C-alpha cells in the first residue's frame, strides 16, 4: 500500500515537475523571463484562464464538460459593460453581471439534468446561443465608454500591495474552491457523482442539484474572467472569449484530472493553467511566431497526457 | 432409444479459478426431442451449454456429436457441426432487413467480388420462413418486428445453416402469450423434422407442456434425467432444491414489535402489480422468486429510485410519499443493492469516503466535514463489521467481495436505519463472511430494525426469514410463515406451479 501512496504522490507531482522544467528552460533561453515584472504580468494573463479552468475542474470531476464558458464570458461582460455605460452603480453592475453568469450556468445545468442532454451537446448549443445573444446585444460592436469608476478599473488594472487585482481574485477563488472541494460535503458529492453517479443517487445525493450548482459556479467564474478582461481593455468585445474553453479544458487535463470524472484536483488545474501561461509568455519573449506557438502548445498537451497514461498503466 | 444421439456429453467437469462449477455432469439429446435443462440460478446450465458449443474448454469428460467425439474450439466450429444457440439477447441488427439479417456474415455473392446476389437471398429467405410457417416480409427492417418475430428470424437463420441441434436459453422470457404459442408451433415443426432442442427455462408450465425429457442440475452436479410423462412437478422441484440446511444460519430469538412498514397494492407500469406486504420491527421478511420476477424492482420502488404507478407505503402507521432515495433515507430506509460495483460503491474512492457517502450530514456542520467525526464513524464501522483493510484510506476497488459488501453495509448502518432492504446480500461472498453478515442482520433485528431480504438462495431465505414473500412475474404469489414454508412450496409459488396444477388437472 505504501507503493500505492508513493506512486500517487509521484503522479500528483507530475504537473509540477513539468512546470518546473519549462520554467528552467525558459529562464535559460530568455533572461527577462524571471523578472518580477514579467512574472506578475504572466500571472495576470494566467488569471483569466485559471478562473474558467477552476469551474471547468468541477464540471469535469462530475464527468461533464462545458463548452459554453467563452460565450458566457462574452455575454456576461457585455451585459456588465452595457450597465456601466448607461450609468449603473459599478459594484451593482458587476454583481448583476456575475449573477447573469450564474443564471447562464444554471441553464446549462438544467438542460443537462432535467433535459437529459449530454453535457457536450447541451453546452455546444448554449455556446452558440450565448454567443449569438452577445452579438445581438452589442450589435456586433465593442461596448466602450464604461465610465471612470475606480471599482471597475481596479478589477483588471488595479494592484493590491503590488499584486495585480486579477491575480488576487484568482488566488481568493482558488482558496475558496479548494476548501469547498476538499473540506465540504458538496466537494465530496462532486467526487462521488463523478466516480459513480448511480451509487451516489442511491446514497441519497441529489445529483441534479449538485450538477446545476456546478455549472452555475462555472458560469459565474467565466463572467468574473470576462469582467476582468473588460476592465483591462476598457471595453467589452463581442468576440471575447472565443475558444477559451479549449485552454480551460487543457489546463484541467494538464493538471491530471480525469476526463471521465471522479479523479482530479484543483491544485493540478492551477498548475496546468500556469504551464499554458508560461508557455504563452515564454514563447512571446523568445519571439516565436504565434502560429508556431499553437503547434508547441498542442504538442505539450499531447506529451503531458501521454506521459500521464503511461504512469496510469 | 436406439436412435443415435445428436449430442452426448459424459462426465463433464469444469472449474473456474478453483471454483468448481460442474462436477461429472451427463447430458444427451436425441433427434426430434425437446430436452429441458433445469436448475436454480448458478446451477451450471449455461456453463454446460457453453462447453458444448466450444465457448469454454472442459476440464474432464467427453462430448460426442452424432457419434463422433468432438472438441469445438469456438462457437463457429459448433455451428458448422450443426449446433446453434438462440440467446436471450438476440443477434439482430435493427437497421438491416430480414434478408440481410438472415445472411449476415454468409452473404451470397457473385464469385469473390463482394457483389451481393440479392434476389437469390430474398428467395431463400422466403423459402426458409415459409418452411417454418412464419409470415414475415423479408424486405422490412428488423426493428419493425416484434421480439418474437426477431427470434423467429434467428431460428430461421440457424435452420438455414443446416442446424439440427438448437439450444434455446429462456426463449419465452420476453414474449407475449401469443408469441409463445407461435414459437411452440415452430418448435413442434422442427421436432418433426428431426431437430433436437435443448430448452433452458425456469417455467415449469412450459416444460411440462413442451418437453419430452428433463435433466436437472444442482450446484454444478448432475441430479438426474426424467421422462416428462413419468414424472411430476413435485419430483422435479425436489430434485432442483433438495439439499440440507445445516447450521449455516445463526439462531434467531427476536420478539416482533409493532408494524414498521406496510406496502399496499404497490404497482409499477411494467414490472409488477398490486404487491402488498408488511414488516414488523425486528422481523426479517425474505423475498423469493426467480430472476426477472420483479423483486429488485419492487425494492427500488419502495426506495424511490423507481417510480410507482399506484399504491401506498406506510411507515409506523403514517403514509409516506417517497419521491427519490433522499426521501427514503430521511425516513430511515437503507438499501443494500444487488449490484455492489455499479450501484453500491464508488470504486475509485476509499473505504472512508464510501462509508461517509450516506452520512455526510451526520459528520458535518454547516456543510464542512469534520475530520474527527468522519474518522470516528469510519473506524467504528470498520471495527464493528470487521472489514479487512490496510486502513480507511484503502480504495474499495482492491477489497475482496465480502469486504466490499461489508463496506456497503457500513455505509447504511451509519444512518441508523429503521428499515433495511438487502438485495442478494451474500452473492459473491465467501462462507465465512456470509455468516458474519447474517449475524449483523440478527443484531439489527434485535434493535428493532425491520429487514427485507431479497435472495435467490433458497436455503438462505428459509434459514433467515421470519416470513417469506414469493414473487412470480410481477405478482406476489404467496406470503408464508417460516414454519409453513419449505423449498418445494416456495419453488412452486415462484415458478407459477400453483396455476399449473389448477389449469393442468
Q: Which of A185, A199, A262 has the CB atom closest to B345's CB atom?
A: A199
Q: Is A178 on the interface with B (CB under 8 A)?
A: no
Q: Percent of chain B beyond pLDDT 90?
A: 51
Q: Note whether B357 contacts A191, CB cutoff 8 Å.
A: no
Is residue A44 over pLDDT 90? yes
Q: Is B89 left (phi over 0), alpha (psi -120 to 50) or beta?
A: beta
| Last residue within a domain, chosen from B163, B185, B207 | B163
Number of domains in chain B: 3
How confident is residue B90, by pLDDT bands cut at 50, 70 and 90?
Answer: confident
Query: Could you count the other beta carbons within 10 Å of the beta carbon of residue B105?
Result: 7
Query: Is residue B187 included in any domain, yes or no?
Result: no
Residue B133 DSSP label: T
Same domain, B269 and B238: no
pLDDT of B210 above 90: yes
Residue of B nearest to A264 (CA): B348
Contacts of B411 in chain A (CB under 8 A): 203
Q: In this predicted model, what pLDDT tens digit does every residue of B38-65 receive, in sequence order?
A: 876 667 888 899 999 998 999 999 999 9
In a shared domain, residues B373 and B468: yes
CB-nearest to A185 from B329, B364, B391 is B364
8 Å CB contact of A188 and B357: yes
> Strand pairing partners for B475?
B472
Q: How far is the C-alpha of B358 from the C-alpha of B466, rounded, in Å?
A: 28
Within a domain: B17: yes
Q: Is B368 on the interface with A (CB under 8 A)?
A: yes
Decide: B280 and B258 in contact? Cβ < 8 Å: yes
Q: Does B367 touch chain A (CB under 8 A)?
A: yes
Same domain, B208 and B98: no
Residue B98 in domain: yes
Residue B408 domain flag: yes
Pairing of strands B272-280, B467-472: unpaired
Q: Do B346 and A195 touch (CB under 8 A)?
A: yes
- B337 vs A: CB within 8 A: yes
Residue B186 belongs to some domain of the structure:
no
- Work out the minimum CA distance from A204 to partner chain B, whole angstroms: 4
CATH code of the domain covering residue B68:
3.40.50.300
Q: Is B323 on the interface with A (CB under 8 A)?
A: no
Number of helices followed by number of strands (H, E) in chain B? 17, 22
Q: In this structure, is the dihedral angle defined by the CA atoms of residues B21, B26, B30 and B36, taken in order, positive or negative? A: negative
Per the structure, the count of domains in chain A is 1
Tens-digit pLDDT profile for residues A222-235: 999 999 999 999 99
For B327, the closest chain A residue by CA position comes to A204
H/E segment holding residue A233: helix A207-233
Domain that holds residue B362: 259-504
Strand-strand pairing, B60-65 and B7-16: antiparallel
Which residue from B343, B394, B411 is facing A198, i.e. has the nearest CB? B343
Residues B326 and B353 in one domain: yes
pLDDT-derived band at B327, boundaries 50, 70, 90: very high
Residues near B246 by Cβ (< 8 Å), separated by ≥ 6?
none
Encode pLDDT of B140-193 as tens digits. Answer: 999 888 888 888 888 888 888 889 999 998 888 777 777 888 889 999 999 999
pLDDT at res. B244: 44
Concatenate the DSSP letters of all residues of A61-118 into one string.
HTT---TTHHHHHHHHHHHHHHHHHTT--HHHHHHHHHHHHHHHHHHHHHHHHTS---
Q: Assign B202 a pLDDT band (cuts: 50, 70, 90).
A: confident
Choose the weakest-confidence range: A23-37, A163-177, B353-367, B391-405.
B391-405
Q: Which residues of A touch B302 (CB under 8 A)?
A: none
Judge if B133 and B274 occupy the same domain.
no
Pairing of strands B310-315, B284-289: unpaired
pLDDT at B306: 92
Q: Which of A104-118, A138-152, A284-298, B105-119 has the highest mean pLDDT?
A: A104-118
pLDDT tens-place string over residues B352-392? 999 999 999 999 999 999 999 999 999 999 999 888 888 88
Instruction: Tell me which of B346, B378, B392 to substitute to probe the interface with A (most A C-beta atoms closer than 10 Å).
Output: B346
Q: Does the structure show a pLDDT above 80 at A65?
A: yes
Q: Is B118 part of a structural domain of the chain?
A: yes
Q: What φ, ψ does residue B34 adopt, rounded to 5°? A: -110, 115
Q: Which of A169-183, A284-298, B116-130, B134-148 has the highest mean pLDDT?
A: A169-183
Among A181, A204, A210, the strongest candidate for a mutation testing the B interface, having the largest count of B CBs within 10 A, is A204
CA distance B470 to B483: 15
Name the B residues in 33-92 with CB < 8 Å from any A CB. Answer: none
B223-227, B325-329, B445-449, B492-496: least confident range: B492-496
The CATH number that applies at residue A108 is 1.10.3470
Contact indicator for A210, A193 with CB cutoff of 8 Å: yes
Mean pLDDT of chain B: 87
Q: Is the pLDDT of residue B503 over 60?
A: no
CA–CA separation, B475 and B268 (whole Å)? 11
Contact between A198 and B342 using a beta-carbon 8 Å cutoff = yes
B234 vs B429 pLDDT, higher one: B234
Q: Which of B305, B338, B348, B397 to mutate to test the interface with A (most CBs of A within 10 A)?
A: B348
Within a domain: residue B182?
no
B118 and B32, same domain (yes or no): no
Query: Considering chain B, what percentage of its residues have pLDDT values greater than 70?
Result: 94
Same-domain pairing of B78 and B96: no
Average pLDDT over residues B208-217: 93
List the 247-306 stretch of B: residues with Cβ below 8 A of A. 303, 305
Per-residue pLDDT, A11: 64
Judged by a CB distance cut-off of 8 A, whether residue B356 touches chain A is yes
Per-residue pLDDT of B237-284, as tens digits, reads 778 776 543 456 777 778 889 999 999 999 999 899 999 999 999 999
Half-sphere exposure of B399 (CA within 13 A, CB side): 33
Tell me: do B98 and B135 sit in the same domain: yes
Q: How far is A199 from chain B (nearest CA, A)?
A: 4
Whether residue A312 has pLDDT greater than 80:
no
Q: What's B338's DSSP letter? A: S
Would an 8 Å CB–CB cutoff place A184 in contact with chain B? yes
Beta carbons of A204 and B329 less than 8 Å apart: yes
Q: Please answer yes or no on whether B325 and A183 come within 8 Å at the CB atom.
A: no
Look over chain A and give the mean of its residue pLDDT values, rounded to a whole number: 91
Full DSSP string of A103-160: HHHHHHHHHHHTS---HHHHHHHHHHHHHHHHHHHHTTS-B------HHHHHHHH-EE
Contact call for residues B481 and B467 (beta carbons, < 8 A): yes
Whether residue B357 and residue A184 make contact (CB cut-off 8 A), yes or no, is no
Residue B157 shares a structural domain with residue B264: no
B459 and B430 in contact (C-beta within 8 Å)?
no
- Contact of B23 with B75, CB cutoff 8 Å: no
Size of interface A-B (CB pairs under 8 A): 77
Give the per-residue pLDDT at B161: 82
State yes or no: pLDDT of B76 exceeds 60. yes
B383-430 pLDDT tens trace: 998 888 888 898 898 787 778 889 999 999 999 999 999 998 887 666
ipTM: 0.83
Structural domain span for residue A110? 42-312
Same-domain pairing of B75 and B212: yes
**Over the stretch B424-456, which tens digit does the pLDDT of each residue have?**
888 766 666 777 889 899 999 999 999 999 988
Return all residues near A306 (Cβ < 8 A) that are at least 6 apart.
none
Q: Verify that B99 and B202 share a domain, yes or no.
A: no
Q: Are residues B156 and B221 in the same domain?
A: no
pLDDT score recorded for residue B497: 66
Distances, alpha carbon B489 to alpha carbons B279, B292, B484, B485, in Å: 21, 19, 9, 6
CB-CB contact of B302 with B417 (8 Å): no
Q: Are A248 and A52 in contact (CB under 8 A)?
A: yes
Q: Of A1, A192, A198, which is closest to B357 when you measure between CB atoms?
A: A192
CA distance A258 to chain B (A): 12
Q: Judging by DSSP bridges, how do beta strands B213-218 and B475-481 pair with one another?
A: unpaired
Q: Name the residue of chain B whose CA is nearest to A261's CA.
A: B348
Amino acid at each position: 500500500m505504501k507503493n500505492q501512496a508513493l506512486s500517487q504522490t509521484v503522479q500528483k507531482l507530475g504537473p509540477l515537475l513539468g512546470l518546473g522544467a519549462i520554467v528552467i528552460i525558459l529562464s535559460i533561453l530568455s533572461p527577462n523571463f524571471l523578472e518580477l515584472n514579467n512574472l506578475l504580468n504572466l500571472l495576470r494573463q494566467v488569471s483569466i484562464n485559471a478562473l474558467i479552468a477552476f469551474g471547468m475542474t468541477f464540471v469535469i470531476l462530475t464527468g461533464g464538460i462545458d463548452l459554453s464558458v467563452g460565450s458566457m464570458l462574452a455575454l456576461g461582460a457585455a451585459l456588465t459593460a452595457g450597465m456601466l455605460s448607461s450609468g449603473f452603480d459599478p459594484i451593482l453592475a458587476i454583481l448583476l453581471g456575475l449573477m447573469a453568469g450564474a443564471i447562464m450556468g444554471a441553464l446549462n445545468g438544467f438542460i443537462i439534468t432535467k433535459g437529459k442532454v449530454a453535457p457536450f451537446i447541451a453546452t455546444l448549443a448554449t455556446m452558440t446561443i450565448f454567443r449569438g445573444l452577445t452579438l445581438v446585444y452589442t450589435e456586433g460592436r465593442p461596448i466602450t465608454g464604461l465610465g471612470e469608476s475606480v471599482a471597475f478599473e481596479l478589477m483588471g488594472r488595479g494592484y493590491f500591495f503590488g499584486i495585480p487585482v486579477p491575480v488576487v481574485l484568482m488566488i481568493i477563488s482558488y482558496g475558496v474552491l479548494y476548501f469547498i472541494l476538499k473540506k465540504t460535503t458538496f466537494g465530496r458529492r462532486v467526487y462521488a457523482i463523478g466516480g459513480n453517479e448511480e451509487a451516489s443517487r442511491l446514497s441519497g445525493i441529489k445529483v441534479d442539484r449538485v450538477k446545476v450548482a456546478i455549472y452555475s459556479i462555472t458560469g459565474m467564474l467565466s463572467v468574473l474572467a470576462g469582467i476582468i478582461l473588460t476592465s483591462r481593455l476598457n471595453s467589452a468585445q463581442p468576440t471575447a472569449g472565443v475558444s477559451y474553453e479549449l485552454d480551460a479544458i487543457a489546463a484541467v487535463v494538464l493538471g491530471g484530472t480525469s476526463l471521465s470524472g471522479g479523479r482530479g484536483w484543483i491544485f493540478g488545474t492551477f498548475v496546468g493553467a500556469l504551464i499554458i501561461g508560461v508557455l504563452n509568455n515564454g514563447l512571446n519573449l523568445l519571439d516565436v511566431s504565434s502560429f508556431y506557438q499553437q503547434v508547441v502548445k498542442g504538442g505539450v498537451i499531447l506529451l503531458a497526457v501521454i506521459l500521464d497514461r503511461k504512469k496510469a498503466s | 432409444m436406439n436412435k443415435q444421439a445428436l449430442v452426448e456429453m459424459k462426465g463433464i467437469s469444469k472449474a473456474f479459478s478453483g471454483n468448481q462449477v460442474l462436477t461429472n455432469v451427463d447430458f444427451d439429446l436425441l433427434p426430434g426431442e425437446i430436452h429441458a435443462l433445469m436448475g436454480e440460478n448458478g446451477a451450471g446450465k449455461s456453463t454446460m451449454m457453453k462447453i458444448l458449443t466450444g465457448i469454454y474448454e472442459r476440464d474432464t469428460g467427453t462430448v460426442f456429436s452424432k457419434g463422433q467425439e468432438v472438441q469445438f474450439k469456438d462457437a463457429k466450429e459448433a455451428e458448422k457441426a450443426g449446433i446453434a444457440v438462440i440467446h436471450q439477447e438476440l443477434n439482430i441488427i435493427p437497421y438491416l432487413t430480414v434478408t440481410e439479417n438472415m445472411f449476415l456474415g454468409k452473404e451470397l455473392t457473385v464469385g469473390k467480388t463482394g457483389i451481393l446476389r440479392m434476389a437469390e437471398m430474398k428467395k431463400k429467405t422466403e423459402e426458409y420462413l415459409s418452411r417454418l410457417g412464419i409470415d414475415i416480409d423479408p424486405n422490412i427492417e428488423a426493428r419493425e418486428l416484434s421480439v418474437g418475430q426477431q427470434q423467429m428470424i434467428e431460428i430461421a437463420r440457424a435452420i438455414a445453416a443446416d442446424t439440427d441441434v438448437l439450444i434455446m436459453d429462456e426463449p419465452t422470457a420476453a414474449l407475449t402469450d401469443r408469441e409463445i404459442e407461435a414459437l411452440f408451433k415452430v418448435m413442434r415443426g422442427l421436432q418433426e423434422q428431426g431437430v433436437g432442442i435443448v430448452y433452458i427455462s425456469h417455467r415449469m408450465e412450459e416444460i411440462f407442456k413442451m418437453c419430452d425429457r428433463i435433466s436437472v442440475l444442482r450446484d454444478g452436479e448432475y441430479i438426474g434425467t426424467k421422462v416428462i410423462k413419468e414424472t411430476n412437478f413435485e419430483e422435479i422441484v425436489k430434485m432442483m432444491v433438495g439439499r440440507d440446511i445445516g447450521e449455516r444460519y445463526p439462531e434467531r430469538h427476536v420478539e416482533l414489535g409493532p408494524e414498521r412498514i406496510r406496502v399496499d397494492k404497490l404497482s409499477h407500469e411494467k414490472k409488477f402489480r398490486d404487491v402488498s406486504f408488511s414488516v414488523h420491527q425486528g422481523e426479517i421478511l425474505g423475498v423469493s422468486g426467480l430472476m426477472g420476477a420483479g423483486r429488485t424492482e419492487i425494492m427500488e420502488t419502495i426506495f424511490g429510485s423507481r417510480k410507482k404507478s399506484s399504491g401506498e407505503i406506510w411507515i409506523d402507521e403514517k403514509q409516506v410519499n417517497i419521491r427519490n432515495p433522499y426521501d427514503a433515507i430521511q425516513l430511515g430506509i437503507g438499501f443494500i443493492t444487488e449490484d455492489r460495483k455499479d450501484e453500491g460503491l464508488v470504486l475509485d474512492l476509499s473505504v472512508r469516503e464510501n462509508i461517509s457517502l450516506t452520512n455526510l450530514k451526520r459528520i458535518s456542520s454547516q456543510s464542512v466535514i469534520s475530520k474527527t467525526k468522519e474518522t470516528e464513524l469510519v473506524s467504528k464501522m470498520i471495527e464493528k463489521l470487521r472489514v479487512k483493510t490496510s486502513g480507511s484510506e484503502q480504495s474499495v476497488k482492491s477489497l475482496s467481495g465480502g469486504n466490499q459488501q461489508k463496506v456497503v453495509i457500513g455505509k447504511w448502518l451509519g444512518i441508523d436505519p429503521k428499515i433495511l432492504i438487502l438485495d442478494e446480500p451474500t452473492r459473491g461472498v465467501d462462507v465465512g463472511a456470509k455468516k458474519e453478515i447474517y449475524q449483523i442482520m440478527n443484531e439489527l433485528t434485535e434493535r428493532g430494525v425491520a429487514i427485507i431480504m431479497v435472495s435467490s438462495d433458497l436455503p438462505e431465505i428459509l434459514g433467515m426469514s421470519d416470513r417469506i414473500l414469493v414473487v412470480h412475474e410481477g405478482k406476489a404469489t404467496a406470503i408464508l410463515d417460516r414454519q409453513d414454508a419449505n423449498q418445494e412450496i416456495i419453488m412452486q409459488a415462484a415458478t407459477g406451479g400453483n396455476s399449473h396444477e389448477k389449469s393442468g388437472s
